[in-house]
Amino acid sequence: MTQPLLDVDGLKVDALFGRYAHPIIRDVSFRIMPGEAYGLVGESGSGKSVTSLGVMGLLKKPLRAAGGEIRFKGRNLLTLPKREMRRLRGNRIAMIFQEPMTALNPLSTVGRQIAEMFVLHQDKSWAEARELAVKALESVRVPNPDRRARNYPHQMSGGMRQRVMIAMALACNPDLLIADEPTTALDVTVQAEVLRLIKDLCAERGTAVLFISHDLGVIASICQRVGVMYAGCLVEENETRALFSNPRHEYTRGLLGALPRLGSRSLHGRQRLVDIDSIIADRSALTETRFIAPRDGQEERP
């Protein structure tokens, strides 16, 4: 049986306010296989971004990991020395964010910022790295990569900047790419192009993806397996197709019914959207029930 690439096991994260610890993530477990695209979906405050920060080792005060393990290729990231973690981050695990403008350095050309990845993680000389950076830009389908490498972030459009972020993230051929709402700030047609790009590149290189979004449509178009987060808990997990055709958790059903879906009006007429708050009477009971479907051909082992 193949070993999972990322194995989040019983993760607990607290926010520490003085002596009082407020639970943010309560016992979240999921696995990502090598080359698999896994989606985490949920509303703001459900804990999906904090989970990804935990995987990147970027939890800062007042957040702290209070329990569980995050195993990446068998090594527990939560106990890894900072130095080791820094070697892994950007190299084996890379991340792209929602707003590329805040993640890019405005005072440095994008070519230099991509080249830095090769210098830091692969011991290349700057001259070599610069050439590799242009190649990286070409691979994310930036037209005129040679000229674009000399641009500063503000000279580029939102879609172009997100491409630069993807080029940077994939520069060292990471095993895992974490994408945190990478297309939320983009126009629909640009979003479609960027999603296509992430999907193609990761499939080509066998990179696993942890894709975080509030948009079920985006998740469905990119991920094979989806986890639904609610109030710091993973309430349902299943293959994408099964989750959409047969949602078992009350909250998942609410989430699916709350979205107007393209084409449903012409099929069924205008139906009232589901108000999740009205169907969920007791929120604490909700986080206790969980539906986690086992993976195909793999029975859960103790």
Partner 1 sequence: MTISTATPADGPLLQVDDLHVRFPISGGGLLGAGRRMLHAVNGVSFALAKGECLSIVGESGCGKSTTALAILGLQEPTDGTIRYRGRMLSGPGAPGRMQRAKAVQMVFQDPYASLNPRQSVRASLAAPLRLHGITAASEISDRIEAMLADVGLTPEQAVRYPHEFSGGQRQRIGIARALILEPEIVVLDEPVSALDVSIRAQIINLLLDLQEKRGLSYVMISHDLSVVEHMSDRVCVMFFGQIVEEGGWRQIFETPAHPYTRRLIAAIPDPEVAMGRRAGAERFAGVPSPRGRDFVSDGRVAPDVFVPPAPSELVEIAPEHRVRLALSARSADVP
Q: Which residue is listed with tokens 């126009």?
A: 187
Q: Which of 188, 268, 300, 301 is the binder for partner 1 (CB under 8 A)?
A: 188
Helices 158-170 and 126-139: angle between axes, nearest 10 degrees:
120
Q: Can residue 218 be called a binding residue for partner 1 (CB under 8 A)? A: yes
Q: Can residue 152 be called a binding residue for partner 1 (CB under 8 A)? A: no
Q: Which of 22, 147, 265, 283 is the binder for partner 1 (CB under 8 A)?
A: 265
Q: Which of 71, 135, 261, 295 is the binder for partner 1 (CB under 8 A)?
A: 261
Stretch that binds partner 1, among 27-35, 63-71, 125-133, 264-272 (CB under 8 A): 264-272
Q: Can residue 258 be called a binding residue for partner 1 (CB under 8 A)? A: yes
Closer Cβ to partner 1, 176 or 186, answer by number: 186
Which stretches of the chain are assigned E, i.e. beta strand? 6-17, 20-32, 37-41, 63-72, 75-76, 93-96, 176-180, 208-213, 225-230, 233-239, 291-292
Count residues contacting partner 1 (CB under 8 A)?
38
Q: Can residue 195 be called a binding residue for partner 1 (CB under 8 A)? A: yes
Q: Can residue 200 be called a binding residue for partner 1 (CB under 8 A)? A: no
Closest CB 104 distance from partner 1, rounded Å: 20
Which stretches of 53-182 are assigned E, i.e. beta strand? 63-72, 75-76, 93-96, 176-180
Distance CA 154, CA 126 (A): 23
Q: Which residue is listed with tokens 């972030």?
A: 153
Q: Which of 78, 85, 120, 220 is the binder for partner 1 (CB under 8 A)?
A: 220
| 51 membership: H or E segment, kind and range | helix 48-56
Burial 245-255 (b: 16+ CB within 10 A, else e): eebbbbbbbbb
Query: Using alpha carbons only, how large is the chain's radius of gyration in Å?
Result: 20
Q: What are phi and psi of 189, to 5 degrees?
A: -70, -35
Stretch that binds partner 1, among 55-63, 170-178, 201-209, 212-220 (CB under 8 A): 212-220
Closest CB 70 distance from partner 1, rounded Å: 27
What are the residues binding partner 1 (CB under 8 A)? Answer: 43-44, 187-192, 195, 214-218, 220-221, 240-241, 244-245, 254-255, 257-263, 265-266, 270, 272-277
